[in-house]
Structure 1
């Protein structure tokens, strides 16, 4: 079973699974999911809670002792296991063994960062998922974020019109903790619980947080305005231009390889070969439809010029070239002309 974190409360109201796998990159969703499971488990008699943080020196026997503490008088246990970002072969072997030790008096919660496709196909993951529920705690993407905002408003009794929802999503992208704080503030400011653009502009400021990967995803998708908006914010925040150049260089080289290989190999097969996430394939397809090999080489030339300026012309800013490159990557092919 797989669910998004914002559906966990609904799920828990119906049943409590023996195993929960909380994986993602959003601290707020991870914390709220843990708390929701704890509350439900306690209500169902899981009075004893144990927390373990796994690292290379972790004593797995201490965890196994909890699982094997079976008697008429022992309490039902909630066991939380936090995994490191990188799992060793020894750790995965112990996780398989852990799955075999679970019983009806244990609810196991495993917490970790975003999983790769290979990890989701691994033996330890499949062993835990036999009686488990995977709770997706990834930050909502641009498409899901408005729905997430609407759900949060509804939970608080706030009635936000469509424009208010879009503004809340745009102003808090990548920063869900700030979104929760903003909604709580609005709840206090407006007892009638009605939200519109005017009230938001009077009461809030932007709290969105972007990474270089938000920018590269916007470029791949051809969303020129969004890419420029993200780039301006990254520039204002003092992000090193070298980091952005390396990020997009990697994407341009990958697109060049895909474009060349697509002449002889189906695109789906290439995506598998280059380990491109299923969720990212639509934006790579959009980029490949828009960017020919010739155009990709031209973009790489602009990138090379940017690198020369940033490393040799210390009195000249390279940011205008990065904005130019951003525009070139997003342009429909018929509108593109080389300077």
Structure 2
């Protein structure tokens, strides 16, 4: 079955309930909201009994699932059965049990399976393929910086408020990487201001700076040529106590990736052909080739030399502040 976004998943519940649902992904807020919406829809439809099974480790007794699927309640004829697999690995016995569940979901029961972010191997497993075929499935993916203003605007619209593009971008800068805090800030605006359009001054006054940055998304900023965002992310990582050696590793790996990409393109290969080899996935795959053309081979080689110099600064064998050098490196790579 097609996999709707969490928002589409929630909207779809109003059109009727299916026997089997799967929610997986790393964005906890979106996964929680989707599960809460399903629980509310199930209660409204008369599924008043709820049973939760949590698979913790390899020693989980899967006969509990078989019992839950076959049991009949004395108090309610309709049941919501939740199966939580926080590790994402049901094991051999669990995989077989989930395949049987997918092939024949229990009657008078809505089953919800909750999973974390799954790697490629897990998504290719037989049990996941069986669920994918039979269940209504949604993936709670992180909301990227480019998507965040739209996400904020949709949330505000639900409470009768709106904002212009400049205010939405400012809001997104303050909450990037912290979706739960973003929702809390949206809720706060609903309490502080009446319905209607919010001004940039309102956002400046009310929205706290709660952005959280992930070093693994740092390259997206300078690959896109966004000097301001790259600098803001580095300041945030430094303030959060991130180790500069990890940040340097991110720069070094992606500079080397662009150099290898340039060599491959000269040999007639395509970006798609090299994606797995160079770990080019998601936004990075889209940004890599334009960044390569903008930066050029000579500047990339100089950047690699600069990475070696920052490494010596981190180790204390060369003068200078590593974070300042990393910001200059980001600005150089992001410059248009």
Q: Does 1:202 align with 2:213?
A: no
Alpha-carbon RMSD across the aligned residues, in angstroms, is: 2.5
Distance 1:203 1:247, change over 3 A: same
Question: Partner of 1:136 in structure 2?
Answer: 139
Question: Partner of 2:4 in structure 1?
Answer: 3
User: Could you tell me how far 1:134 is from its partner in structure 2?
Assistant: 2.1
Distance 1:277 1:68, change over 3 A: farther
Pick from 120, 123, 127: which aligns with 1:124? 127
Looking at structure 2, the residues matched to 104 and 285 of structure 1 have their Cα atoms a distance apart, in angstroms, of 52
Aligned pair count reads 332
Looking at structure 2, the residues matched to 299 and 316 of structure 1 have their Cα atoms a distance apart, in angstroms, of 17
**Contact kept? 2:88, 2:116, Cα under 8 Å:** no
Looking at structure 2, the residues matched to 222 and 93 of structure 1 have their Cα atoms a distance apart, in angstroms, of 48
Question: Partner of 2:181 in structure 1?
Answer: 178
Question: Partner of 1:300 in structure 2?
Answer: 304
User: Could you tell me how far 1:94 is from its partner in structure 2?
Assistant: 3.8
Question: Partner of 1:25 in structure 2?
Answer: 26
Aligned to 1:258, what secondary structure does the other structure show?
helix
Residues 100-133 of structure 1 deviation map (CA, whole Å, 9 limit, x = unaligned): 3413422222222223344434322221122322
**Contact kept? 2:152, 2:186, Cα under 8 Å:** no
**Contact kept? 1:2, 1:136, Cα under 8 Å:** yes
**Contact kept? 1:60, 1:94, Cα under 8 Å:** yes
Looking at structure 1, the residues matched to 126 and 37 of structure 2 have their Cα atoms a distance apart, in angstroms, of 28
Q: Which has the higher mean CA deviation after the structures are superposed, 1-10 or 276-285?
A: 276-285
Q: Which has the higher mean CA deviation after the structures are superposed, 131-140 or 118-127?
A: 118-127
Unaligned runs of 5+ in 1: 333-339
Question: Partner of 2:46 in structure 1?
Answer: 45
Question: Partner of 1:258 in structure 2?
Answer: 261
Q: Which has the higher mean CA deviation after the structures are superposed, 36-45 or 96-105?
A: 96-105
Q: Which has the higher mean CA deviation after the structures are superposed, 39-48 or 162-171?
A: 162-171
User: Could you tell me how far 1:68 is from its partner in structure 2?
Assistant: 2.3
User: Could you tell me how far 1:254 is from its partner in structure 2?
Assistant: 2.7
Question: Partner of 1:12 in structure 2?
Answer: 13
Question: Partner of 1:58 in structure 2?
Answer: 60
Pick from 178, 181, 193: which aligns with 1:190? 193
Where in structure 2 are the equivalents of 1:195-274 lying within 5 Å? 195-262=198-265, 263-274=267-278
User: Could you tell me how far 1:75 is from its partner in structure 2?
Assistant: 2.8
Q: Does 1:167 align with 2:173?
A: no
Q: Which has the higher mean CA deviation after the structures are superposed, 246-255 or 284-293?
A: 284-293
Q: Does 1:98 align with 2:101?
A: yes
User: Could you tell me how far 1:67 is from its partner in structure 2?
Assistant: 1.3
Pick from 312, 315, 336: which aligns with 1:311? 315
Aligned to 1:42, what secondary structure does the other structure show?
helix
Q: Which has the higher mean CA deviation after the structures are superposed, 145-154 or 13-22?
A: 13-22
Question: Partner of 1:335 in structure 2?
Answer: none
**Contact kept? 2:102, 2:134, Cα under 8 Å:** no
Which TM-score applies when normalising by structure 1?
Answer: 0.88
User: Could you tell me how far 1:291 is from its partner in structure 2?
Assistant: 4.1
Residues 51-102 of structure 1 deviation map (CA, whole Å, 9 limit, x = unaligned): 2222222111111211122699863222222223452652434432332341
Pick from 313, 322, 326: which aligns with 1:322? 326
Aligned to 2:4, what secondary structure does the other structure show?
strand
Looking at structure 1, the residues matched to 173 and 194 of structure 2 have their Cα atoms a distance apart, in angstroms, of 24
Where in structure 2 are the equivalents of 1:276-295 lying within 5 Å? 276-295=280-299
User: Could you tell me how far 1:171 is from its partner in structure 2?
Assistant: 1.4
**Contact kept? 2:48, 2:80, Cα under 8 Å:** yes
Aligned to 2:51, what secondary structure does the other structure show?
strand
Looking at structure 1, the residues matched to 124 and 43 of structure 2 have their Cα atoms a distance apart, in angstroms, of 32
**Contact kept? 2:88, 2:117, Cα under 8 Å:** no
Unaligned runs of 5+ in 2: none
User: Could you tell me how far 1:35 is from its partner in structure 2?
Assistant: 0.6
